[in-house]
């Protein structure tokens, strides 16, 4: 029966139990939760099929059939892939508004020594079901658009959802959300084998990020991560039902007075170790920041240093579960093995 898997994962239970999911791919856009819940991607647009894994040297005039050609179109598109492929972009993939990049049904790798995704000044983008790894800086497309080698850069963008991707080993961050971006959900991803994992907020001086709202839910962090799971600034961040498999320096950190709700996560440390880290502030200052841990499970000596007083915005969303649900909720994170005529 559609939508009744019973895993407790509200995204997966919305669509994965339908063996005919490939006949209505755009149903996925109805399944997002959290602050990015208004992201519709390419819903109601045409389907564009990537048939050519190559990437042209001239990013302004890409060949039809390539991923770059699809993501730069100005009309809404639901982008799928004809077969398994590895795409090594020569320049950053600049994704236009109202796009869904949907890797279900094919094994798609983006990066692998090339550049990766940039969402700059856009809205309504969904990236789902891709392996994004080995992303490198590319020659900048303009002096104001320096390439840093992130897996996914979200820059002054709104209504963004990244779901069921596997990200690892990029030159800078795996996912960076900065410069006034907001209404973002990052869910069901595997993030591994990396240093600076996830940055949410540009800098301690960029106060436009005070309106940032990001939901980080149902992800698996690790193995092989060092820090920034996530690192937050200024905004409001809900970190819900994630599975943390060790961290070298810290798991959740931040500066510039972010508000963080950590609810129903499972933190497994390799030894007695703090989950949290405040940057660039004395205790007299950070003690006023609202960082709340609710119903988190701390294993092998992990501990969370709470601070501040929760206000009305620090409230677990309705889809949040107790941490005892995390093994079931995160059992199928990352890229799914999907066949078009069977359950995904």
**Structure tokens belonging to residue 270:** 């390799």
What confidence category does residue 3 fall into, taking pLDDT thresholds of 50, 70 and 90? very low
For 56-65, 85-94, 129-138, 243-252, which range has the lowest pLDDT when averaged over its residues? 56-65
pLDDT (mean) for 289-299: 98
DSSP strand pairing (266-268 vs 297-299) = parallel
Name the one residue in this structure whose structure tokens are 């920034």.
Answer: 228
Give residue 143's pLDDT. 63
Question: Mean pLDDT of all residues in the chain?
Answer: 95
Distance of CA 47 to the CA centre of its chain: 23
Closest CA relative to residue 124, chosen from 79, 83, 183: 183
d(CA 204, CA 144): 20
244 Cβ neighbours under 8 A, 6+ residues apart? 221, 222, 229, 251, 265, 266, 267, 268, 275, 302
Query: What local confidence, expressed as pLDDT, does residue 263 receive?
Result: 98
The pLDDT assigned to 279 comes to 93
Q: What is the mean pLDDT of residues 264-284?
A: 96
Catalytic residues: 228
**118: enclosing H helix or E strand:** strand 117-120
Q: Which domains does the chain have, with CATH numbers?
A: 10-329 (2.160.20.10)
pLDDT tens digits, 235-271 = 999 999 999 999 999 999 999 999 999 999 999 999 9
pLDDT band for 144, please (50, 70, 90 cuts). low
* Confidence (pLDDT) at 4: 47
Residue by residue, DSSP assigns 176-194 as EEETT-EEEEEES-EEESE
Which pLDDT score, from 0 to 100, does residue 6 have?
77
Mean pLDDT over 274-279 rounds to 97
186-223 pLDDT, tens digit each: 999 999 999 999 999 999 999 999 999 999 999 999 99
Q: Round to whole Å and give the CA distance between 339 and 102.
A: 13
pLDDT in tens, 9-26: 999 999 998 899 999 999
- Is the pTM above the cut of 0.85? yes
Of the candidates 192, 188, 210, the residue with the CA atom closest to the CA atom of residue 201? 210
CB contact at 8 A, 90 and 61:
no
DSSP 3-state of 110? strand
The model's confidence at residue 80, banded by pLDDT at 50, 70 and 90, is very high
- Mean pLDDT for 302-330 is 94
User: Strand pairing of 213-217 and 182-187?
Assistant: parallel
């Amino acid at each position: 029966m559609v939508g009744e898997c019973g895993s407790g994962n509200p995204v997966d239970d919305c669509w994965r139990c339908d063996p005919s999911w490939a006949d209505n791919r755009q149903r996925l856009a109805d399944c997002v939760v959290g602050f990015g819940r208004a992201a519709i991607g390419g819903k109601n647009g045409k389907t564009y099929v990537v048939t050519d894994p190559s990437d042209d040297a001239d990013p302004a005039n890409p060949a039809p059939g390539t991923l770059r050609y699809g993501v730069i179109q100005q009309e809404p598109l639901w982008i799928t892939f004809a077969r398994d492929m590895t795409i090594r972009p020569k320049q950053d993939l600049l994704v236009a508004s109202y796009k869904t990049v949907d890797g279900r049904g094919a094994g798609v790798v983006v990066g692998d020594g090339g550049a990766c995704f940039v969402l700059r000044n856009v809205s309504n983008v969904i990236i789902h079901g891709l392996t994004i790894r080995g992303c490198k800086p590319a020659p900048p497309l303009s002096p104001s658009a320096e390439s840093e080698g992130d897996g996914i850069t979200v820059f002054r963008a709104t209504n963004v959802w990244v779901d069921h991707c596997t990200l690892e080993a990029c030159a800078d961050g795996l996912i960076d959300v900065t410069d006034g971006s907001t209404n973002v959900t990052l869910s069901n991803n595997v993030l591994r084998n990396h240093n600076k994992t996830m940055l949410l907020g540009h800098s301690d001086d960029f106060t436009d990020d005070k309106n940032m709202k990001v939901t980080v839910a149902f992800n698996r962090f690790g193995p092989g991560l060092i820090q920034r799971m996530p690192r937050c600034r200024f905004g409001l961040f809900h970190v819900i039902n994630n599975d943390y498999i060790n961290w070298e320096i810290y798991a959740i950190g931040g500066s510039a007075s972010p508000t963080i709700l950590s609810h129903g996560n499972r933190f497994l440390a390799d030894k007695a170790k703090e989950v949290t880290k405040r940057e660039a502030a004395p205790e007299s200052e950070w003690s006023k920041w609202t960082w709340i841990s609710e119903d988190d499970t701390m294993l092998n000596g992990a501990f969370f240093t709470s601070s501040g007083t929760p206000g009305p915005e620090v409230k677990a969303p309705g889809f949040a579960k107790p941490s005892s649900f995390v093994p079931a909720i995160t059992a199928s994170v990352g890229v799914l093995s999907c066949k078009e005529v069977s359950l995904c």
